[in-house]
Structures are given as structure tokens and as C-alpha cells.
Chains A and B, each alone.
Chain A
Amino acid sequence: MSIDLSQFHAVFFEESFEGLELMEAALLDLDVGNPDSEQINAIFRAAHSIKGGSGTFGFVQVAEFTHILETLLDKVRDGEQAIDADGIELFLQSVDCLRGLLEALQSKQDPDMQRANELAGVFQAVLDGASYADSANLVKANSITGQLLAPEITESAADNVADDAATDDGISEEPSYGTSRQQVGFNIYFKPHVDMLKGGNDPVRMLRELATLGEIKTTVDSAELPLLEALVPDNCYLSWTIELLTSCKIDDVEEVFEWVEDECQLSITPILQDASALVSNQPQDQQNNPQASPSAALGQRLVMPSGPLPGLDDLLLPSPMVDSSTETVTDPVKDSVKAPVKDPVKTKATKVESSSIRVGIDKVDSLINLVGELVITQSMLGQMGSARDSITEEHIGNLREGLVQLEQNTRELQDSVMRIRMLPISFTFNRLPRMVRDISIQLGKKVQLEVSGESTELDKTVMEKISDPMVHLIRNALDHGIEMPAQRIAAGKPEMGTIVLKAFHQGGSIVIEMSDDGGGIDTERLLAKARKNGLVAESEQLTQEQKLELLFTPGLSTVEQVSDLSGRGVGMDVVRRNIQELNGSVEVSSEMGVGSAFRIRLPLTLAILDGQLVTVADQTYIFPLVSISESLQIDGAKVNNLAGGSDVYSLRDEYIPILRLDRLFSLREENGVLDGSLLVVVESEGQKIGVVVDELLAQQQVVIKSLEENYTRVVGVSGATILGDGTVAMIVDPIGLSSLAGNDIAAAKQMTDAAA
């Protein structure tokens, strides 16, 4: 059978990368002093799976490299090889190396084996008894080792693959054509242990296999067969003497008994014959010889027991299968020609970048279930539509019911489909422990990362885009947040700094919190810098929050010494912008000497929005439901007119700016009376704004269409959607609105502060 193995490659790569992540995580987590055997086992298993798969799917470079890695890990697992910090470093490097090899193979490129060979050399040195550190240095100093290893690896790897197809057909690679005495077969004595059957091994199978190697003559010895009363059906009482005429090598015969070699007495002795007598004894020439029946001889010795002995008939009467075999004696030479060595890797030139997601079967099941319900609803509605009777009251009732059901089906289906795109945030979190480890070592700091909520699910696109900002935040925390160990001890803190990363769902969004117990953000320095750069006027007084907000101002870095890691221009302003592009927000809180915390809030998905429909001047607008904190009817007495024509509204104990969409978007000439009209209070980044609307309509989920792609970017509008009646409605962007209302916000703030 020919099966194209390349169809399994995608899955293999996916699981291998997962395995590497798992390995990495376990390595990072491993307590060197007291390694947890389950973790070591997990590391071993990951390497082991990659080795098995890569061998099977023809990625010999990977298989060879993982083999030596696995051998070492196996020793670690068995406690024969210790593991220390240098060892972990080496294993981590091998994870990186394997990742590189697999990535190259995945994109159909020849992997660069240099690093792999170096590491293989290091591991070999460790296996030979050197310490991890010494081995690493040794190999570094003598990089020739790596070069020497290279051809060896490729060769033996090629052998491996080539061997596969040939060896198991029982074909001897080099038939032994001796000079004078020629081996023509084997005498085999085979006495299974009494309990061999219990391992599922049936002696008949071995006889049958021997028969495929050549011509066999079998004699069974049933002397040990007890009387029926004493017979244990599970036991094997028989032994066999077999004469096998074949040109096969002894290895092939031994292979037949490979699984039972310790469960039987076995002797295999070659039958030798003079070269001159050879012709008549070649198995190929014996096809027409009459078959000597061993069963005749043994029949005399048998007192036939009839019992439930499994396969007993077969055991006692091996002749039928011998018969069949003699007729199918094969010509090994011909066969080996017929069976060319197949290359299991059939590479196609197609690029494999199509990203895929693995979806839990439960998600697919629920989808199928919902589609089923949708079909039922559809047929119900269809039936009503095709009814020929005149429409009655009852019909309409049923129709309404059907439509309600359809709506529910659609919503559930939509939820289900969206869930398919949702992945646990661990995809992003997983690479952070390694980063924290590497950077903290580089900086000479001691930092631990605590992660929780890894299983929180998030839309794939959002996840991809949030990864960079998160990495940036963590780098910042490592670089500027956590202090040097000595400094921490002096401050009475534990030497080991802690970064806590949390993810959880809250309402319709996902919240990611990152906090550190470092030195906190020096807001005074921030302010001084901002003043120096002319971003804040000397006279202007800022609240603590406003000072912290300066962190997100472009072109403001408090670090005098630009370090290797962060503070190189890509600042917090970029982080915030990235997050805002995802319709999310980021807030910061910090206390000097205690630490800082960042709170990122993101929508679960980018494609669909829970919206509140409103009308302004006969136009429909949509507010993201999450941004609305309340809606109220304006009490004219609470409106304050400010100079410049803007208004603020006194909402409980604070003043909020009133924004008129009609004016903002030039929808109509006259301004409506504020008293009695509706005010939607939206909140973004802790800032409330009241937006005047004519009417509040329904709340519904809307599919977001990009305005930028289809028209152009408009401040205050994040996108558009198509409503049920086919009209286009704009989706209001609360963050954009607050930037439009900047002056009013400042004015309202002043009033609030003054009132307080």
C-alpha cells in the first residue's frame, strides 16, 4: 500500500511545536535541586514524541538530533544522569535548536544543522561522563566536533529510512554465496514456555512466518501434553522441530522469534551443504516437490484431547499452512528489485503558511447541533410559507414563534462560530516565562513570573495583536520595574522580584493584568521630563492619575540610560495605540517603592460588537454597549453653559462634558433643546462623556465593517455596519469622541475639582 505521509506533516509540526513549548515550560519550572519526576517525564515524552514522529515522517535530521537528546533525557529520567542549571540551559538551547529545524522543514527548506551538530556533540560529551558546563565549553572550543558529526548524522539517517522498506520483507540483503560449504537453511528447535500463550503470542504465527521464508518441515512433540483432566487450556505443552530450507540470513529467522526469545527455548542451527549439491536443494527449485507431511508421524503419538484449547487444532496440525507456504515461496532477489526504496518525504513546493486553528471537538459538536436546530426551524418556517390556506391569526402567531426561534438559533450559532476562533491566552503567555528567565539572567536580577488564567479564551486575531504590547510591558517591568537584588534587600523586599500576570473575563471583555513588585513609576520624574519637553506647562498642576497618564505620551522616556532591552523609542504610547486599535484600553496604577500594575481591557472579538442603536437627526448610530455606563433624560437645570458654546452636565457629584453628535457631524442646522432630550453617558479610559441622542433604539450584535478599508478613517467613528434593513450605520468610537471633546473634558474636570 502506498500512503502519502505528507498529509500528516501539518499535524506533526503542530504537535511538535506544542511539545517544544511544553518542554520549555517544564524546563523553566524544573527545580534543579529536587527535580520532579513527572516534569522530567513530560520533558522526555515531548522529545520522545518528536523523535518518533520525525523518524516516521522522514525528517531524519530532527530524528537524529532528538535521538541523542532523548538518550540523555532518558538517563536523567532514570536518575543515572544528574541535571544542573547548565544542563537546563543546554536543554533549553536544544529546544530553540529543534524549533529552528522544524520551522525550516515546515517551510520546505533545508535546516541548518550546525547548531544541532554542536549541541549533539555537547550531549555526547555529557553522555561520555563530562559535566554539562565542561561539555559545552569543550565543544565550543573544538567546533570541529560539530563538523565531524555532520556527515555521520546524515549517513546513518539515510540508512534508517532506506532500511524501513526492505528489512521487514524478510529479504536478505546479501545472500551468502559461500565457496565450498553453502548454507541452505536452518534446523530450528522451538519449545515455548508453558505460559507463552498468555502474552498473546501464538506459536502458529511463528510457524506461519517461517513458512513465508522458505520451505519448512515441521515435527511437533506432544510428549508433555497431559491427560485431559490435568490439561490447563492456557498452557502450551508442545514443542517443534523445524527444518527450514531457505536462502535467508539467520537474522531473518531470529526476527520471527524476536518477540518470544525470552519465553521459549530456541536453537537455530544452519544447515550446510556442499556447493555441488546445492542446486537440488534450492527452495525455488522445490516448488513442485511433494510435501512431506509431518502430521502423519505425529498423529500416532497423540491421544486426541478435545477441549477448549485455543488454536489447538492448528497447533497439532501444522500441515495445511505448510502446504500453502510451499506454493508461495518467493524469490527474494526478484522481490527486492520489485520493492524500490521509497522516499517517505514527498515534498510539494506549496507554501505551508496557511494558519490553522485546532478546535476542540466539543465546539464542533455544538456547532453541528445548532445547525441541526437551524434546519428544523427553517423547515418549520418553510412549511408555513408554503401553506395554501389563507393566512389566519394562528398562522401569524406561529410565524412569529418561528422567527423568535430563528433569532435564537442565529445568535447561538454566531456565538458558537465565534468560539471557534477563541484560543486560550496561554498561547501568548507560554513564551513569557522563558523571556523572563533569559532577561533576568541578562540583567542580573532575580525575578519570578506568576501566571494565572491561562485558559481564558480570546479571539485569535486579538491574541496575535496583543502579544507584542504584552511582551513590551513585561520587558519594561523587568528592565525598569524590578530592582537589583541588593537594592531590593536594602528596601526590605524579598530578593526575588515577582511579576504577576493574570487574565480573566469581565463582562464582554477580557482583562489582562500585569503587576510587578518593583520600584514603581517615578511620577515626579515623568512630570519633570514632560515639562522639560514642553508637553506640560510649568504652571499646570496634575493629579497623580494625570501624571501616570504621561507615561503614554509619545516621546517620553524617563530612563536616562537607554538600555539594551527597552527604552529605545518604542514606548508606552505605542503599546497604548496597539491596544486601542483593538478597541481595548490600558490603564496604569503605580506606587513608589511598591510596584506598578497595568490593566489591559480587550474585546473578546474584533468581528462582532454588542451595540446600542440610537438615532441622531434621522441617522442611526451604534454605541459599543460596553462603553455605555448609563442613559438618562436631561434635566435642563443640571446643564451648565460654558464660554465657547460648550455645555457640561452635572451628573451626581461630577461634571461631564455634553457632546452633540449632530453638531459634531454637521447633521442639521439648528441645535435641539437639551432639556428633556436623551443623554447617553459613555465611559472610556475612566473619562465620562454625555452624548445627546434623539432616540434610543434596540440593542443588537452588529458585524463590524472597516470604515478605513471602505472609505477613510474618521475621528470618532470606529467602523460601520449594515443593519437589517440594508442601511449603513456608523459605529461610534468613544475614545475618538473623548479626544474630540478634549477641551470640554478639561473644563468639566476643573468644575468637578472645584466642586469637590
Chain B
Amino acid sequence: MKVAVVTFPGSNCDYDLYKAVQDVGGSPTFVWHRERGLDGYDAVMLPGGFSYGDYLRGGAIARLSPVMEDVVAYAAAGGPVLGVCNGFQILCEAGLLPGALMRNESLRFQSFPVRLRVERADTLFTTAYDEGQVLRIPIAHGEGNYEADPATLERLEGDGRVVFRYVDASGEPTDDGNPNGSWHNIAGIVNEAGNVLGMMPHPERAMEPLLGSTDGRGVFTSLVRALGAAAPAATP
């Protein structure tokens, strides 16, 4: 699995993603935001961080980077794209995913492991999990409060495009389990075609028993499995 890990000025989870891809037997390559061309990659990943210092809005300037034109074309051609944290914000700003990530309701930067319920175990990124399984994966963000207009939200729920939801200790999506005020406890969504996943929690930080959880591995092993089974990646 050849993976492009796109880095922007201010990305800071790029090495974590790189390592996560290596850990599941993939071969990652860093692609600088000014580079062009994503041909030949089996997947593209946008890391967390604070691209352009989060100036204007998280992801607002990064999404205008030259490489993002290629990411948009890559996604349109069906190529798998994963955006984590700031990467999720960039995907929303680029219009690859609907909605926006607003300031946390608490106004605090929240950094701790959360409980995530897998709502869909049949996407490219989640077949290694069981539907309803609760994962422990860390978050680290100040702007992860997912919002969209009512029609979009209804469509997301109706089409089953909410992939991960924040839940409490009993596995329910309550306010208690919601770290940032996201609508319906949304932590991760896919696009209509199902090949673009954006999520605020960091699966790449939950790869090692030493760091407290290996629950993030499934995102990467699922992708390896999906790519192994399917035809080679889209070449836009």
C-alpha cells in the first residue's frame, strides 16, 4: 500500500501517520503541499496539526495549497482519502466533506483519550472493527465541534455516513461522552461515495500498547485489506 502523507507548514502529526502506515506494512511517502501529482498512490492521508497556524479558520488556507487540487481530483476519482484532526478540517474547507469544525463548546483545547463507537464497519477504513464496538482513541483539538446545516445533518444520518460517534462509559452518545459539543456526537464522517473519511480523533496515536491503546490500528489495517482486495488505486 503506497500512501501519500501530505504535509503542510504547521502539520505535526505527519510522522505519526507515516509510522502508522509503516506499522501495517504500507510504504508511506511525504508529499509537500507545494508538490503536484498523486498518481500511483493507493491512498492519501492528511495529517493533524495547525496548518498555517490555524489562521482565518482551521484548514482554510491549507486547502488552497497546490497539492489540494490533486487531492480533490484523487478523491473524485474514487481514491481513498483519510483526514485526521486538522486533516478533517482541511477536507471540510475543501468541500470534500460537508459541514465545518467550530470552536469546542468548552472553549478549551481538549487532549485526552475518548470513547468512540464504530457506527459503520463496512467502509474502506473500518472493516477491521465490529459495528457498535467502542474504541479508546485520543483527541487533541480546540476546534472539533462538528456543525452543518440541518438538511446536511439529516442527510448524513439518513445515509448512514456517520462512521464514529463519541460515547460515554456505557457506550451511549450522551453529552457526557461528547468532548467538544459536536452535533449528534459526530466524531467522523465519510463522503457520499464512501472513499473520503474525516475524523477528529487520532487513530495514528493509538497504535502501540506502550501508549495505552492499539484501537487505532483498525483504520489502517482495514485500508490495507480493502486495497488488497480491490483494484489498484484511482489515477486521476
- Decide whether A and B are members of one complex: no
* Chain B residues in the interface with A (C-beta under 8 A): none
* Chain A residues in the interface with B (C-beta under 8 A): none
